[in-house]
């Protein structure tokens, strides 16, 4: 709908459509300013937005339209006529003549001002901007100003919506930028696997991302303390290489809890304690006023801690900075994990090389071979350019081997320069590393620096590492490694060289002693045999080797059962003598000789009329006591009832004892077996005292066979092993059993000490009888064929050798 008043025509619908077509702030306010300028010729239009700043709220000019006026960029909120608008917050109209120049000094006016009008821009009753109209050709009227008020309301909503859109757009761009930076930093972190190079990259990139004074990279030590491995920037409160444990500082506490920490205020107790520690070391300037710390976690395991101090713009860190540091610590954890894998792989390579070289130098007594292995073997993992070894011979150090060559010319200038250096190194007691970086040589003594300055200039080397080779018998020689790179040795390399030097000392000493053995000529026949063997035709040599190898493999690997045998005798079976538990006359016998009986079955009985009479009397007295107790209870005579209760309890116990004595008149079998007492039926009428034997029962269901074992075989026999028994009475039958016990004490049989192994053999048919003899074998398990065939002769030879030479 168009606005028409006093010649002022403005199409609101068209203006709304144009505003909706624009999404950003400046294009929208430019549409509004131009629309007003079009309906008010000869006017200058300025649109302002309020802005909050640290030094106070201001008006910020967004756009201008028309000519003749140029406002300042930033204007205090309470300045001049704009200040009046900020207080009144309603459309305002001023005549040019009524205003002094100071009241609208924020505008640079080049023409005569007739009218000055303002339309406030509000949203939810909050002032967010203003439209300023300066008329230079005619005066504005209240009617025109009121007609433009609707434009002001529309412009306020348009300004607020554009600001929201622009803020969201800026936040999105900021997030995208941050993600891009994180992605780039992750790529940078992954650009190297060298730990020494990675730590400075992490520190510098995190510092650049957070725009702070310093970033400290702490890594976890084996004792769970933190060590400051790298410091990017300047943080005087901690020094590189320092250690922290939980309770010593914020990084130590984070390593214990695993939670990130944000400290915004400099008066925090933790920062005060940290800054005081720096001042106690004489550091007066600088300190930490704001701090963020995040753990570096690798699969829920702490690797280290990232710490950032003091933003460069002076503001404290906030949660967004802590979130950024946490994300950076995740990328750093991945990079550190990959670098640690490379370091571990290199350590494995170092160990494999060390094992290979060690095997090479310990598998031979050839001195030249040992020397070549020592100087050439480590080259696969150590980047040296020359290794040399010199041995002590008759009190002098003689150069014996150089890496890369089997022979060398002592007159070569390079070799001639090396020999006096090795002579000097042989006098050292500890390993020494001399390096030249620039013009500086890492030596304590001036004479040493001068010596190596000449040597490095002549050879082009920049690092010399020497290790004296000595044992408890004295000096053996000296081993050296050289390179044109002063940093060619790492900690792992130094550890490997130290171990190699120890092994080389032993190998060189053994090789030297081997040459001095007086009877070394005894080995000559063996060497001749070897030469003849190697002279055989290839196929015959192969056949011989294969045959010998097959025999050896058969004897060493093919399993055969190892059995221990010896004479065997069937021991007496399990027997039990059945006695009476009370004194009495045998009333009846229920079994006869040869009858099988079960455990607990009754085999006889004694006269029991006395015991039955005693039982009946006790039962009668118990019943009487119970009857009297019941009568007393019925008569409410508690005293008499208590007395009779005690009598009833007493006679109840007597009944139980009488019943037990009566039960003992029955004689029962204690085991399963067969009655072996002859004429047991004649026992009827005999009087037996307590403990007298009534019958004898033998259990032959399981026979026990005693196997005699020689003392040389007793260590192989143990309980639980399977055994087989063949008796003379049953030559066609083999009985199987199990070793139940091996006698702990031996017995003397002639000149031989014999031990017994008792074998339990099932005997359900009672065919095995005590005293039977035969032989038995105990299976002690599977052993290599060589042990089965040659065990006894080898043991005999070993015993004889021990008798002759043992100690």
Q: Is 490's pLDDT higher than 70?
A: yes
Q: Does 565 or 68 have the greater pLDDT score?
A: 565
Q: Which run of H or E residues covers position 218? A: strand 212-220
In this predicted structure, what is the pLDDT of residue 428?
A: 83
pLDDT at position 6: 47
Q: Around Cβ 623, how many Cβ atoms within 10 Å?
A: 13
In this structure, are 280 and 408 located in the same domain?
no
Instruction: Indicate whether 386 and 509 sit together in one domain.
Output: yes
pLDDT, residue 5, reads 46
pLDDT category, 392, cuts 50, 70, 90? confident
Cα-flanking dihedrals φ and ψ of residue 561, to 5°? Answer: -70, 135
Whether residue 712 lies inside any domain: the answer is yes
Q: Could you read off the pLDDT of 445-458 as tens digits, one per residue? A: 888 888 888 888 88
CATH of the domain at 790: 2.40.30.170
Phi/psi zone of residue 2: left (φ > 0), alpha (ψ -120 to 50 degrees), beta?
beta
Give the model's confidence band at 1: pLDDT under 50 very low, under 70 low, under 90 confident, else very high: very low
How many domains would you assign to the chain?
A: 5
Q: In b/e form, how buried is each residue of 387-406, taking b as 16+ CB within 10 angstroms?
A: bbbbbbeeeebebbbbbeee
What backbone phi and psi angles, to 5 degrees, belong to 665? -75, -15
- Residue 118, in any domain of the structure: yes
Say yes or no: 210 and 304 in one domain: yes
Measured between alpha carbons, how far is 30 from 158 in angstroms, rounded to an integer? 11
Reply yes or no on whether the pLDDT at 94 is more than 70: yes
Instruction: Kindly report, residue by residue over 326-349, the tens digit of the pLDDT.
Output: 888 888 888 888 777 777 777 777
- Structural domain includes residue 485: yes
Question: What pLDDT, on the 0 to 100 scale, is given for residue 636?
Answer: 83
The domain boundary, picked from 102, 136, 169, lies at 169
135 and 212 share one domain: no
Q: Is residue 665 part of a domain?
A: no
Give the rounded percent of residues in the chain with a pLDDT score beyond 90.
Answer: 2
The least confident of 183-187, 427-431, 464-468 is: 183-187
Q: What is the DSSP string of 326-364?
A: HHHHHHHHHHHHHHHHHHHHHHHHHHHHHHHHHHHHHS-
**Residue of 139, 75, 85 whose CA lies nearest to 112:** 139
Cα-Cα end-to-end distance for the chain:
125
For the stretch 599-629, pLDDT in tens is 888 888 888 788 788 888 888 888 888 888 8
pLDDT tens string 749-772: 777 788 888 888 888 777 787 788
Q: Which of 704, 699, 701, 700 is nearest to 578 (CA)?
A: 699
Q: List the one residue out of 680, 686, 663 whose CA is nearest residue 587.
A: 686
| Domain termination residue (choose one: 515, 545, 578) | 515
Residues 123 and 231 in one domain: no
Has residue 106 been placed in a domain? yes
Asked if 683 contacts 667 with a C-beta cutoff of 8 angstroms, the reply is no
- Write phi, then psi, for 372 (nearest 5 degrees): -65, -40
Residue 807 in this model has a pLDDT that exceeds 60? no
* pLDDT, mean over the chain: 81
Give yes or no: residues 521 and 510 share one domain.
no
Q: Counting Cβ atoms within 10 Å, is residue 432 exposed (0-12), middle (13-18) or buried (19+)? A: middle
Residue 690 lies in a domain: no
Quick one: 415 and 305 in the same domain? Answer: no
For range 467-490, the mean pLDDT: 86
Domain of 751 in residue numbering reads as 700-805
pLDDT higher than 60, residue 522: no
535 and 550 housed in the same domain: yes
At 283, the pLDDT band (50, 70, 90 cuts) reads low
- pTM reported for the whole predicted model: 0.42
Range in 15-29, 351-365, 375-389 with the lowest mean pLDDT: 351-365
CA-based nearest residue to 98, from 88, 84, 108: 84
Question: Looking at the structure, do residues 125 and 219 belong to the same domain, yes or no?
Answer: no
Whether residue 673 is contained in a domain is answered as no
Backbone phi, psi, residue 712, to 5°:
-75, -15
Return the pLDDT at 519: 45
Looking at the predicted structure, is the pLDDT value of residue 147 above 70? yes
- Are 224 and 286 in the same domain? yes
Which comes out higher in pLDDT, residue 167 or 560?
A: 560
pLDDT tens, position by position, 676-722? 788 888 888 788 888 788 888 877 677 788 888 887 788 888 888 89
Q: Which of 314, 345, 376 finishes a domain? A: 345
Q: What is the pLDDT of residue 583?
A: 82
Average pLDDT score over residue span 478-495:
86
Residue 617 backbone phi and psi in degrees, to 5: -65, -45
Are 16 and 165 in the same domain? Answer: yes
Residue 521 has pLDDT above 70, yes or no: no
Mean pLDDT of 399-421: 83
Confidence of residue 308 (pLDDT cuts 50, 70, 90): very high
What is the largest distance, in Å, between two alpha-carbon atoms of the chain? 161
Question: CATH number of the domain that 117 lies in?
Answer: 3.30.450.40
What CA–CA distance (Å, rounded) separates 49 from 27?
14
Residue 497 lies in a domain: yes
Render pLDDT for 17-76 as a digit per residue (tens, 0 to 9): 777 777 788 888 888 888 888 888 888 888 888 886 655 688 888 888 888 788 888 888
Same domain, 498 and 524: no
Query: Exposed, middle or buried by CB within 10 Å (0-12, 13-18, 19+), for 678?
Result: exposed
């Amino acid at each position: 709908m168009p606005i028409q008043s006093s010649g002022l025509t403005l199409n609101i619908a068209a203006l709304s459509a144009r505003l909706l077509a624009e999404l950003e702030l400046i294009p929208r306010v430019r549409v509004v300013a131009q629309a007003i300028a079009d309906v008010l010729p000869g006017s200058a239009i300025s649109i302002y937005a309020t802005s909050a700043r640290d030094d106070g709220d201001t008006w910020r000019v967004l756009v201008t339209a028309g000519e003749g006026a140029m406002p300042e960029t930033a204007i205090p909120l309470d300045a001049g006529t704009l200040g009046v608008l900020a207080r009144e917050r309603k459309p305002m109209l001023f005549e040019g003549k009524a205003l002094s120049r100071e009241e609208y000094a924020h505008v640079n006016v080049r023409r005569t001002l007739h009218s000055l009008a303002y339309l406030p821009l509000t949203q939810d009753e909050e002032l967010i901007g203003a439209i300023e109209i300066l008329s230079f050709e005619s005066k504005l009227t209240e009617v025109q100003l009121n007609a433009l008020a609707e434009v002001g309301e529309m412009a306020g909503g348009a300004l607020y919506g554009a600001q929201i859109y622009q803020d969201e757009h800026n936040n999105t761009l900021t997030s995208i930028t941050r993600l891009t930076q994180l992605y780039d930093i992750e790529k940078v972190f992954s650009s190297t696997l060298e730990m020494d190079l990675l730590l400075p990259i992490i520190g510098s990139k995190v510092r650049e991302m957070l725009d702070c004074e310093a970033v400290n990279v702490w890594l976890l030590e084996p004792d769970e303390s933190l060590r400051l491995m790298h410091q990017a920037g300047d943080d005087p409160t901690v020094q590189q290489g320092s250690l922290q444990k939980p309770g010593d500082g914020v990084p130590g506490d984070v390593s214990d809890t695993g939670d990130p920490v944000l400290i915004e205020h400099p008066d925090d107790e933790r920062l005060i304690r940290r800054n005081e520690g720096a001042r106690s070391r004489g550091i007066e300037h600088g300190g930490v006023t704001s701090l963020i710390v995040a753990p570096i976690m690798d699969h829920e395991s702490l690797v280290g801690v990232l710490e950032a101090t003091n933003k460069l713009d002076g503001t404290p860190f906030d949660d967004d900075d802590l979130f950024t540091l946490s994300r950076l610590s995740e990328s750093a954890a991945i990079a550190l994990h990959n670098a640690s894998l490379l370091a571990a792989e290199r350590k494995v390579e170092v160990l494999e090389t060390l094992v290979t070289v060690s095997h090479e130098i310990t598998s031979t007594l050839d001195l030249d071979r040992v020397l070549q292995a020592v100087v050439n073997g480590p080259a696969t993992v150590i980047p040296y350019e020359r290794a040399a070894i010199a041995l002590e011979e008759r009190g002098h150090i003689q150069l014996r081997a150089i890496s890369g060559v089997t022979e060398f010319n002592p007159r070569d200038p390079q070799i001639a320069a090396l020999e006096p250096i090795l002579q000097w190194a042989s006098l050292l007691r500890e390993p020494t590393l001399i390096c030249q970086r620039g013009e500086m040589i890492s030596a304590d003594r001036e004479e040493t620096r001068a010596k190596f300055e000449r040597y490095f200039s002549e050879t082009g080397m920049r690092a010399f590492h020497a290790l004296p080779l000595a044992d408890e018998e004295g000096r053996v020689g000296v081993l050296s490694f050289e390179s044109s790179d002063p940093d060619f040795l790492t900690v792992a390399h130094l550890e490997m060289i130290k171990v190699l030097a120890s092994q080389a000392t032993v190998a060189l000493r053994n090789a030297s002693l081997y040459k001095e053995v007086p009877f070394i000529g005894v080995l000559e026949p063996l060497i001749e045999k070897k030469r003849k063997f190697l002279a055989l035709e290839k196929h015959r040599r192969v056949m011989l080797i294969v045959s010998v190898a097959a025999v050896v493999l058969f004897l060493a690997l093919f399993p055969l059962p190892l059995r221990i045998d010896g004479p065997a005798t069937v021991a007496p079976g399990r027997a039990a003598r059945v006695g009476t538990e009370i004194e009495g006359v045998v009333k009846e016998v229920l079994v006869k000789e040869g009858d099988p009986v079960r455990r607990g079955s009754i085999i006889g009985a004694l006269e029991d009329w006395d015991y039955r009479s005693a039982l009946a009397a006790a039962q009668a007295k118990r019943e009487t006591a119970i009857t009297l107790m019941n009568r007393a209870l019925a008569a409410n005579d508690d005293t008499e009832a208590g007395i009779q209760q005690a009598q009833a309890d007493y006679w109840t116990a007597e009944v139980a004892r009488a019943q037990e004595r009566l039960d003992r008149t029955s004689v029962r079998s204690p085991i399963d077996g067969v009655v072996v007492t002859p004429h047991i039926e004649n026992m009827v009428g005999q009087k037996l005292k307590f403990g007298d034997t009534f019958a004898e029962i033998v259990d032959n269901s399981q026979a026990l066979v005693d196997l005699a074992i020689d003392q040389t075989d007793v260590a192989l026999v143990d309980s639980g092993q399977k055994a087989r028994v063949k008796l003379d009475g049953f030559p066609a039958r083999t009985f199987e059993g199990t070793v139940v016990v091996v006698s702990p004490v031996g017995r003397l049989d002639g000149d031989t000490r014999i031990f017994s192994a008792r074998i339990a053999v099932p005997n359900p048919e009672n065919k095995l009888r005590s005293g039977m003899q035969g032989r038995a074998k105990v299976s002690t398990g599977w052993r290599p064929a060589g042990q089965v065939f040659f065990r006894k002769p080898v043991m005999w030879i070993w015993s004889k050798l021990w008798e002759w030479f043992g100690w």
